[in-house]
Amino acid sequence: MTAPRKDWARCEGERIARRFGWTTLPVDPFAIARSEDITVSPLPEADKGVSGVFHIRGHDAFIFYRETPRQPGRERFSVAHELGHFFLEGHPAMIADQGGRHESRAGSFLQRQPIEVEADHFAAGLLMPTAPLRTFLADAPVGLEAIKRLRQKAKVSISAAAITYAQQADHPVAIIVSKGQRIQYAFQSPGLRALGRLIHPRKDDPLPAGATSHFNSDPSNVAVARQVCGATTAQIWFDGGGALPLDEEVLGLGTSGATLTVLSSEDLPRGDPDDSDDEDDDQPWSPTFR
């Protein structure tokens, strides 16, 4: 199985947004589908476990998405993901070869197919293209508030906004998603990596003592999407981190049962993102995206 082409897929998403005239946030994936005469409809209730379907029949393409009226960001990401299967070179032919129907499943990140990873990165590029994203980030505050504003501005899920923010921010920032007392995944911003080599926690590592661990010890905090803020230091979270003080902002993600933690400091300089490497490249996009 060939490795997914993540950067290429993200660039293609950005290029398609530009081609259809979407140069500011939010980008509307439904409108792009209409422009290409792709029929977009909600999934029938019976298709449980499926977050979206791309169907190709001759010259006709169809997208079905899971309706989540209270979480419009998830619907939009799902439609953008399926658009990836339409626009990314090689995807339509592969799906046509497999009978013309492709099902996308939320949470199936074990042995995810390369086309699934590519479609996720396409969707992120389409919904949050670099140019308007950088314009937004230039004026945004640091930390959780920036993520909440990006969610509103780009009309995406909080997880999509958080991951994209962590991948693009020049400020030193890390995001950690946890469930119970275990880490699900973590990302460091280019600005944080530029400060030195910090090794962040990995999937299934225990949460360190502090605001997030305390927050998660009461599941109702997560369920009702409470938000708290604590103080921590880099060495509590990272191997190689020193006594650097950091804000620890914590937000319950509701019915997903997950918690978002944002570590940042307003007092640190912006790093030079060109110094960063890309060690998170294996991290799945989708466990909480769709």
Where along the sequence are the contacts to Zn ion (CB under 5 A)? 104, 116, 119
| Cβ contacts of 60 within 8 Å, gap of 6 or more | 39
Q: What angle do CA 261, 266, 267 make, to 5 degrees?
A: 130
Q: CA neighbours within 13 Å on the CB side: how many for 67?
A: 8
In this complex, which beta carbon is closest to Zn ion, that of residue 119 or of residue 150?
Answer: 119
In this complex, which beta carbon is closest to Zn ion, that of residue 52 or of residue 271?
Answer: 52
In the complex, the smallest distance separating the C-beta of residue 67 from Zn ion, rounded to whole angstroms, is 17
In this complex, which beta carbon is closest to Zn ion, that of residue 102 or of residue 179?
Answer: 102
Task: Calculate the CA 150 to chain-centre distance.
Answer: 12
In the complex, the smallest distance separating the C-beta of residue 38 from Zn ion, rounded to whole angstroms, is 14
Task: Give the residues across from 40 on adjacent strands.
Answer: 63
In this complex, which beta carbon is closest to Zn ion, that of residue 116 or of residue 170?
Answer: 116
Task: Give the residues across from 206 on adjacent strands.
Answer: 182
Helical H segments across the chain, by residue range: 6-19, 29-35, 72-87, 91-97, 114-127, 130-139, 144-154, 158-168, 190-193, 211-216, 219-223, 234-237
d(CA 80, CA 259): 25
In the complex, the smallest distance separating the C-beta of residue 270 from Zn ion, rounded to whole angstroms, is 36
In this complex, which beta carbon is closest to Zn ion, that of residue 110 or of residue 243?
Answer: 110
d(CA 75, CA 90): 24
In this complex, which beta carbon is closest to Zn ion, that of residue 119 or of residue 160?
Answer: 119
In the complex, the smallest distance separating the C-beta of residue 105 from Zn ion, rounded to whole angstroms, is 8
Please give the DSSP secondary-structure letter assigned to residue 69: T
In the complex, the smallest distance separating the C-beta of residue 77 from Zn ion, rounded to whole angstroms, is 11
Which residue has the CB atom at the shortest distance from Zn ion? 104
In the complex, the smallest distance separating the C-beta of residue 85 from Zn ion, rounded to whole angstroms, is 6
In this complex, which beta carbon is closest to Zn ion, that of residue 83 or of residue 234?
Answer: 83
Kindly tell me the burial class for residue 102, based on how many C-beta atoms sit within 10 Å of its own C-beta (0-12, 13-18, 19 or more). Answer: buried
Please give the DSSP secondary-structure letter assigned to residue 4: P
In the complex, the smallest distance separating the C-beta of residue 116 from Zn ion, rounded to whole angstroms, is 5
d(CA 32, CA 80): 9
